[in-house]
Structure 1
Amino acid sequence: MSESYEFAREHAREIARIVQDHQFRSPAVIDEADSDFDLTLLITPVGEPTLFDMGAIMSEFEDRWNKKVQLVTPETLDTDEPHTIRNLEIV
């Protein structure tokens, strides 16, 4: 299990709240080896979120956990590349 997924599982409830507060839902971890980010999340828009909403999510991750997060929506997910996507279960 990847370190980023373990982190996300540990903080799943908080991550879901942060994402929902900014007009997104269904956070899932994409296991990628992108050294520029600590975590890559697939998030689904609800309504009409803006780039400011995405920026607020990224900022909250950095402020709260000192983690750089990359946000990907279903529309921007590269389907030509294989991805391991792990849904977050909130208990």
Structure 2
Amino acid sequence: MIQKCVEALLLVVRHRLDEIMNMMLNALEFQAKIQNGLIQIPDEYKQELREGDDIKVIVLVNKKSFPKKDIIDELTDNPVQVNGVLAREEIYSH
């Protein structure tokens, strides 16, 4: 009698564990290029994903260029010349 109860309880626990495992996230990582607004999933991962699966997508973009210059960078590269203002050399030479 006790053995049958334990077996029944184990079946319930196994079933619940299967449900929990199915709810857990499984992370896939791959490199891709965006083409026509779509991200192609590599063939080796397609068998892990089913039509209608709910997924969470995080996109990390590789930036190949440096960020645009800000106003400080522009002024450092192209200082504004103002007439009537003393230059550094003129200030410290007196």
State the TM-score bracket (shorter-chain normalisation). Answer: under 0.3
Larger relative contact order (CA 8 Å, sep ≥ 6): 1
Structure showing greater radius of gyration is 2
Higher fraction of helix = 2
Higher fraction of strand = 1
